Amino acid sequence: MRLSCLPVSLYPDLAARRISIGDWLRMAATLGLDGADLSVAHIASRAPAYLAALAREARDAGVAIVMLATYSDFTHPDATERARQQDDVRAWIEVAARLGVPFLRLTAGQAHPGITEAEGLAWAVAGLTACLDDAAAAGVRLLYENHVRGAVWRANDFTQPAARFLEVVHRTAHTTLGVLFDTANCLALGDDPLAVLAAVRERVVAVHMSDIRRPGAFEPVLIGTGVAPIEPVLHTLIAGGFDGWISIEEASHTGEEGFRHAVDFARRTWVEAALKVGSDARNVS
């Protein structure tokens, strides 16, 4: 397991330029992380010189930029806008390739008023699969998240409830689209994360480790203090052979101590889950 982090708690400071992406990368290094994730909302330019400088900051900090989180909105009712969203993803694939970033997080799109379930599902599948060849050519893997709401969105993800998310995963089974599985997002509408994971486990490429206060509401809390079944999720993944990137989605707004707590919790819980898998195997044999 390699550990990264999406610093949601820092979004206001990053957006207001009170701190820089370089500051976050250096903080990730001091936290002992293997990598650091970025929201595309905080990347100021796609110009090669800017990206080269950003890649240099990551190298100097000694952390990899692991994932760029986009806010693709493939369910927009305007066909021209849906096409523009695909072009935007292609542009972010190029950015990821220049930065040496292996993963690009995609979202299905917002629950725009007036679109039917049939329309939304068809548009989501079309958008999520439109750029797979571009990504493969660039050496970037596209990952689809069981998502709630993007930082720049006005509405929740169209592919809530989980039945819609699972339908999109089913319709893209013949493709290279991977799954970014979030440990808590299903709970925002009362869906069972473990049941959803069981249906998509073979497609999971990376994990967002997040936590929320209670089922039925999207209220992020300090990782490990809410209701997300994080240890059972890790146990299920490890038992299935998963040993990839875990990205902490730190959104507790409790300062650097919140990040440190989350990192310690993630490493400790991974070890506990792995030991339980080993114990299960010994008991079976």
Whether the model pTM is above 0.85 = yes
- Residue type for position 274: A
| Span 141-171, pLDDT tens digits | 999 999 998 888 989 999 999 999 999 999 9
Chosen CATH of 2-284 out of 2.70.70.10, 3.20.20.150, 3.80.10.10, 3.40.50.410 = 3.20.20.150
For residue 186, is pLDDT > 80? yes
Q: What is the pLDDT of residues 114-123, one digit of tens each?
A: 999 999 999 9
Burial of 244 (0-12, 13-18, 19+ CB in 10 A): middle
pLDDT surpasses 80 at 285: no
Q: What is the mean pLDDT of residues 88-105?
A: 98
Task: State yes or no: cis peptide before 12, omega within 30 of 0.
Answer: no
